[in-house]
Amino acid sequence: EPKVILADPIGFCFGVERAVNLLEEALKVHGKVYCIGSPIHNPQETARLENKGLVVVDSGEEIPNGSAVFVRAHGLPEGDRRELLNRGHSLIDGTCPFVFKAQKKASFLISQGYRVLILGDKDHPEVKAITQHLGERSSVVLPGEPLPEEVSGGKVGIISQTTQRLEDLANLVQLVVPKASELRVYNTICGATEARQKAVAELAGITDGVVVIGGKNSANTRKLFEIALERNNQAIWIEEASELDWRWLEGKSIIGVAAGASTPDWLIDDFLKLLGKAKGVVKEDGR
């Protein structure tokens, strides 16, 4: 039996845990709660919640008026939120407080006459939730992308998608300093993503192989797997314990286990049980 080391931090980040707890409470109260799109990028956890009364729909039109509707950790654009309220729904707001902070800072900057520049991916729901109601007065750039024309000359406020890297934010600021007449920066990065990435990199360096647990539709889990693979080609990515190919364990005396920010504890525990270990037996040092 190989020795097992867990990445630390592992699994649910603060915001996702909070959101799932709110949803569970709401399911107890309302019996049925709707969500537009999956509440979390994890098929097994979504299925578990569906068993408790969650109903996942593709669009708001499918929800009968006056229902209970869950808002995911990514948040919702202001317009969509208003529309849901207009239809008489009660909202269970799982918006992560860090995401909410970024939204507030963006609105504040606009109210003070700044053009808002967002470091991030314009197609990500979290970024869309910010830009949708700012319209023309905001621009979005990915790390390394050229600056949009509009930032030249005026007052510019910078914020970041919560999952970006601090280093990239610092680089962006450096690019804007010579262009803007005035610059205000809010660091709205949440450390959860980077901490998980750092932990898996360390783990890959000290183990014979790393098992990454998480949804195949989870971008942050994919990133963990890529990092593990880069440093240790003995990395595998599974959604649940039953997917483990036992031959993979052959010849390995020490393995690492990591999980994305959308992976619930019970999936990690299931896997550890399968290995005959209890969660928390061995923890990676330091974090």
**Annotated binding site for isopentenyl diphosphate: which residue ranges?**
41, 74, 124, 218, 220, 262
**Window 40 to 69, contacts with ligand F3S (CB under 6 A):** none
Q: Residue 252 carries which side chain, given as an amino acid letter?
A: K
With tokens 């393995």, the residue in question is 255
Q: Using CB under 6 A, which of the segments 38-46, 75-83, 92-100, 202-210 binds ligand F3S?
A: 92-100
DSSP state of 89: P
* Least Å from the CB of residue 22 to ligand F3S: 12
259 touches ligand F3S (CB under 6 A): no
Q: Is 100 or 248 the residue whose CB approaches ligand F3S more closely? A: 100
Q: Is 22 or 192 the residue whose CB approaches ligand F3S more closely? A: 192
261 touches ligand F3S (CB under 6 A): yes
Q: At residue 139, what are phi and psi to the nearest 5 degrees?
A: -135, 155
Binding track over 157-196 against ligand F3S, x by CB under 6 A: -----xx--------------------------x-xx---
Of 126, 202, 239, 284, the active-site residue reads 126
Binding site as annotated, residues for dimethylallyl diphosphate: 41, 74, 124, 218, 220, 262
Residue from 4, 96, 109, 212 touching ligand F3S (CB under 6 A): that is: 96
* Least Å from the CB of residue 189 to ligand F3S: 9
| Site size for ligand F3S (CB under 6 A) | 14
Contact yes or no for 132/78 (Cβ under 8 A): yes
Q: Is 84 or 192 the residue whose CB approaches ligand F3S more closely? A: 192
Q: At residue 91, what are phi and psi to the nearest 5 degrees?
A: -95, 135
Task: State the maximum Cα–Cα separation within the chain, in Å, rounded to a whole number.
Answer: 64
15 touches ligand F3S (CB under 6 A): yes
Cα of first residue to Cα of last residue in the chain, in angstroms, is 26
Q: At residue 71, what are phi and psi to the nearest 5 degrees?
A: -100, 125
Cis ω for the linkage preceding 264 (within 30 of 0): no
Q: Which helix (H) or strand (E) holds 33?
A: strand 33-36
* Least Å from the CB of residue 164 to ligand F3S: 11
Counting every residue written for the chain, the total comes to 287
17 is catalytic: no
Give the whole-angstrom CA distance, residue 220 versus residue 68. Answer: 29
Give the whole-angstrom CA distance, residue 258 versus residue 64. Answer: 40
13 touches ligand F3S (CB under 6 A): yes
Which has the closest alpha carbon to 74: 157, 149, 137, 16?
A: 16
* Least Å from the CB of residue 13 to ligand F3S: 3
* Least Å from the CB of residue 275 to ligand F3S: 27
Q: Catalogue the active-site residues.
A: 126
